[in-house]
Amino acid sequence: MNEPSRQQRLTIKTQGEARQEYAAAADWLRQRPDYHQVFDYFLEIAGQAWTAAEVSERTGRPVVQHLCNQAPLEIFHAMGLQPLRLASGCCAVSRLAEAGLPALMCPMLRSAIGAQRVQAQASRVLARVIPTTCDWTVKFQELAVALPNDLQKNSSSPPVHLLELPHQRHSERGQARFQEELFLLIDFLEQKIGRRLTRSALLTSVNLYREAWAVLESLIALRRDGRLAAAWFAAICAAFLFDSIERWLTAAQTLVSYLQNQKVRPAARSVFLCGSPIIFPNLKLLRLIEEAKMYVAADELCASERLWPGGMAVDDRSVSGLIRALAGRYHRACQCPTFADNERRFNSVRAVGLPLKGIIYHVLKGCHPFDIESLTMERMAREANIPFIRIETEYSPEDARTILTRLEAFANIDHGASA
């Protein structure tokens, strides 16, 4: 038997560290006073890194990996596929990607690439669907294939479909192009699975996800009035990204019933969290915000509240009608900072309708679109007299104390005082 190479040893070691990182985040949640067994399902799913093979086995569906929020989940589901988000909040696996990638790279995608390297089981990914959002996302596949899996010899990358995203979502031309893109995505997936998308399957999936969006909306309302901490919301969203919608929906409905019977706890220092995605087990900023005695009552993070694309109006139940309606939600209503016309994103902060201590704007180092839009958001916040703090960080915990100092000061700042 051949000795493992140095790289294989590092990969195996990293697997162990990653497991510990996930377990530590889940254990921290279990030890909180607001823990209840109703959260166990979410901790089970969020508390470990699932391989595509494991997800496929658990859900009984072939897996399609995808990035970002623009590929309608209803389409995957209607075609009998399990969408699995290519996203990782794990710091440990990042080092497996560091050597072969640009130094100042989006930490989330670096971690996602690192996570692909530690998957020991043979890949059971039918395809990858990548919406062309930011530069890192567009180049994801190129970067990912440069770093082969160390534990699966002869592994090959799954076929990729680039879902071209028109970056002007309010233009009719952009909207028409995106609808066309969705039809091309369907063609691609039909070729992969060898059967057609049917109207009834799509309608069933649209209705199923409508239920999920309604539950997500209820959960959002529960966090507004202090009954659902941000760290729990992160676990709930991670489960949404990594498990079947049916299982998630059942568990989330139970959770909503439980939380609705809990006391409303209006938070004295409610904040709105904006910016780069926060994905389990990267709870660093959420923990520090709590430590600074603030409560995240709302956010607009793409792997959190923005998973909910908003209510969908279906006036035509043909496949074309349903696709048009989906395109409207997943493109026109999306607030990704890669869009050129994004006023709606800023308005969403104003529309939250809460007395806010302020806006905490999270920028992952190397996450350029959110970094760029932080300037506009800050200006908007100043104009609206909303306190604003920008926290630039990465997955590593080394800057935690410095960030805490800033957050504590932000919590104690007297924004009512005239300067």
Partner 1 sequence: MIIAGIDLGSTAIKLALVADGQLLWHKAAPTAPGQEKIADNLLTEGLAAVGRSGETVVRAVTGYGKHLLVGADRVIDELTANRLGVCKASDGRARSLINIGGQDVKVIRLSAKGQMTGFKMNDKCAAGCGRFFEVAARILDTEVGSFATLAANAAEAARINSTCAVFAESEIVSLMAQGVVKENIIAGLHQSVARRIAGLCAGGALEDDIYLDGGAAQNPGLVHALEDELCRDLHVLPLPQFTVAYGAAISAAMADSAAAKNSS
Q: How far is the CB of 393 from partner 1 (least distance, A)?
A: 9
Distance CA 73, CA 93 (A): 27
Give the nearer residue to partner 1 in terms of CB position, either 243 or 392.
392
Give the nearer residue to partner 1 in terms of CB position, either 174 or 358.
358
Q: How far is the CB of 300 from partner 1 (least distance, A)?
A: 24
- The H or E element containing residue 196 is none
Distance CA 292, CA 411 (A): 7
Q: How far is the CB of 375 from partner 1 (least distance, A)?
A: 12
Give the nearer residue to partner 1 in terms of CB position, either 19 or 293.
293
Detail the DSSP E strand segments found in 124-167: 125-131, 160-163
Q: How far is the CB of 204 from partner 1 (least distance, A)?
A: 50
3-state SS, residue 4: coil
Give the nearer residue to partner 1 in terms of CB position, either 15 or 94.
94
Distance CA 351, CA 228 (A): 20
CB atoms within 10 A of CB 340: 11
Scan for tokens 């082969």, then name that residue.
148
82-85: strand order across its sheet? 82-85, 63-66, 125-131, 160-163
Q: How far is the CB of 161 from partner 1 (least distance, A)?
A: 39
Give the nearer residue to partner 1 in terms of CB position, either 238 or 360.
360
Please check whether residue 36 is in contact with residue 262, taking contact to mean a CB–CB distance below 8 angstroms: no
Q: Is the peptide bond before 159 cis (omega within 30 degrees of 0)?
A: no
Q: How far is the CB of 282 from partner 1 (least distance, A)?
A: 17
Give the chain's end-to-end CA distance (angstroms, integer). 72
Q: How far is the CB of 416 from partner 1 (least distance, A)?
A: 8
Give the nearer residue to partner 1 in terms of CB position, either 173 or 401.
401
Distance CA 279, CA 22 (A): 11
Q: How far is the CB of 389 from partner 1 (least distance, A)?
A: 9
Residues that bind partner 1 (CB under 8 A): 292, 392, 398-399, 401-402, 405-406, 408-415, 417-419
Please check whether residue 222 is in contact with residue 255, taking contact to mean a CB–CB distance below 8 angstroms: no
3-state SS, residue 61: coil
Q: How far is the CB of 358 from partner 1 (least distance, A)?
A: 11
Give the nearer residue to partner 1 in terms of CB position, either 112 or 292.
292
Q: How far is the CB of 415 from partner 1 (least distance, A)?
A: 7
Q: Which of 251, 293, 193, 209 is nearest to 46 (CA)?
A: 251
Give the nearer residue to partner 1 in terms of CB position, either 148 or 397.
397
Cβ-defined contacts of 176-184 (< 8 Å, 24+): 178/327, 178/330, 178/331, 179/323, 179/324, 179/327, 182/72, 182/75, 182/323, 182/326, 182/327, 183/323
Give the nearer residue to partner 1 in terms of CB position, either 154 or 418.
418
Give the nearer residue to partner 1 in terms of CB position, either 138 or 400.
400
Token pair in block for residue 123: 């890949």
- The H or E element containing residue 358 is strand 358-364
